[in-house]
Chains A and B, each alone.
Chain A
Amino acid sequence: MKRIALDKATPGQILAEKLTRPDGVLLANQGAEVTEGLLRMLARQNVDTIVIEEADGRSAEEVLIEYQNFITALEDRFARVNDSGILLALKKTMIFLAQKERDETLALLSPPEPNKAAPLSQE
């Protein structure tokens, strides 16, 4: 997810956090799609920034490689504490969240890319 200025938002993006007015009134739910109408309404409500889900230009392959690198680094960080049930629970929770993020990022990729992206074909 990424926080961006409202005037940088474009239709089609997905809100990663719900938006509420200072008085608590809900303006838009988490998961809502950004539309021209929503942007106008948020501007009227003096919203400066929104948090959006990122498709962020990564290919499916890159997302999977990053996930694997994260898991490898996570195992390195936990190398000294794998005998602790509490910390194993922390590690498992982090793996669960990383998997969730990976799957959600993959789902955001549209149109879906083939599993093997051709090298040099991307920015």
Chain B
Amino acid sequence: MSQPVVQDRVKAKKEVRRIKNLPTVPGIVAKISRMVENPETSAAEVGRLIAQDQVLSAKVLRMANSAFFGMSRKISSISQALVILGFDVVKGLVLTSSVFDMIQKSMAGLWEHSIGCAAASGAVATLLGRDDAEEILVAGLLHDLGKVVLALNLPEEMSLVRKKVAEGPVLFYEAENELLDFDHCDLGQWLAEHWNLPESLAEPMRLHHRPEKAVLKPECVAIVHVADIIIRAKGFGNAGDILVPPISMAAWETLRLRKTDFLPILEILEPKLASLCDLTSIN
């Protein structure tokens, strides 16, 4: 990656600071509202549903981690939020979420890419027998949040990147770095800082294209990296370009995956994707 131009980064960072509310998907919010009205709904069911929504998850976690609650340690997953804050609090956080529909306007297919990457992250984590699969799934959901920032708050830069990607076989983040000297990984990192998200979620946002740099949770970052590749390979959703990015050997070796693991991963993933499609069309 080229050396960052400090002024551009400062400018982009200022843009990030202006963001207070990011959109979320109405279908899911509506479903959560219905679920929480049913007294038989378990906290775990609501947690799973909220975890499928990147912005709502981030918003709930942002609020859960805000000074409002004054938590002594950071809450890094919805299930943890439900345990620590309680069902009603999380319900309140969900229902007060107010901005819903801009993500799909901002970048067609990014929502599908995000939930697909989340499902793929969960599939890899499941195959590896990890007990933090939900957290990794959320990391997969949020990994491209920087692209939402780019689309919504830096539209001129976004159109430059789109033009470059349309011209040739070039990855979205390569175009960003060539044209802007920052990329959606930087934007995601700044947003994560601004939202007070835990490093366990910020790290995959920042490093999913450079997983070998991960320090806190290298395996989680490596899983999101591999999941991003798998879901792009499937052509599920749209991450801004059509290409499968190169795989990091370091990430691959960190996870000790074998080539034959792709088959069970894809077999776990397939039915999940089918039910996610279902979820996006609830209105």
Contacts and interface: CB of A to CB of B under 8 A. Distances in A.
Interface stretch (A36-44, A70-78, A115-123): A70-78
Given A86-B252, A90-B230, A94-B234, A77 B243 contact: yes
Nearest to A3: B278
A100 to B, nearest CB: 10
> Which interface class (under 10, 10 to 19, 20 to 34, 35 or more) fits A?
20 to 34
Contacts of B247: 81, 84, 86-87
A25 interface: no
A94 B242 contact: no
A1 B243 contact: no
Contact of A80 (B244, B262, B275): B244
B233 interface: yes
Contacts of B233: 74, 77-78, 87, 90-91, 94
A73 B229 contact: no
A2 B274 contact: yes
> Which applies to chain B's interface (DSSP): helix, strand, loop or mixed?
helix
B244 A17 contact: no
Interface residues of B, number: 26
B85 interface: no
B237 to A, nearest CB: 12
B244 A1 contact: no
B259 A89 contact: yes
Contact of A3 (B230, B243, B274): B274
Interface of A: 1-3, 16-17, 51, 70, 73-74, 76-81, 84-87, 89-91, 93-94, 96-97
Return the 8 tightest CB-CB contacts between A and B, nearest first: A89-B259, A93-B262, A90-B262, A77-B244, A3-B278, A81-B244, A93-B263, A78-B244
Interface of B: 169, 171, 229-230, 232-235, 242-247, 252, 259-260, 262-263, 266-267, 270-271, 274-275, 278
